[in-house]
Amino acid sequence: MWNTPRFGRPRETATHIPCKACAKPLMARRSCREVTLDCPACGARYRTKDFPEHMDELFEFLADVPADRI
């Protein structure tokens, strides 16, 4: 259920963003209210705000996620 695209958008995607714990690439996962960056290698989980320098890479993936723009 969670991995099926809603309106053609995937709920997760691979990134080139390195994990802060092990340097392996993170997966971006979208829920109804938030996006997390999860490491499939070591299990670490981060918020997108922990990687502001990588927001351009995630911009299209984040497009349908409601967020405060303050």
pTM above 0.85, yes or no: no
Amino acid identity, position 49: K
Contacts of 43 (CB under 8 A, 6+ apart): none
Distances (CA, A) of 6 to 21, 26, 27, 31, 47: 31, 22, 18, 11, 22
Q: How far is the C-alpha of 21 from the C-alpha of 16, rounded, in Å?
A: 15
Ranges of each domain in the chain: 12-62
What are the start-end ranges of the H helices in the chain?
A: 55-62
Residue 32 has pLDDT above 50, yes or no: yes
> Residue 64: which pLDDT band, with cuts at 50, 70 and 90?
low
Residue 5 has pLDDT above 70, yes or no: no
Stretch among 10-19, 25-34, 36-45, 61-70 having the lowest mean pLDDT: 61-70
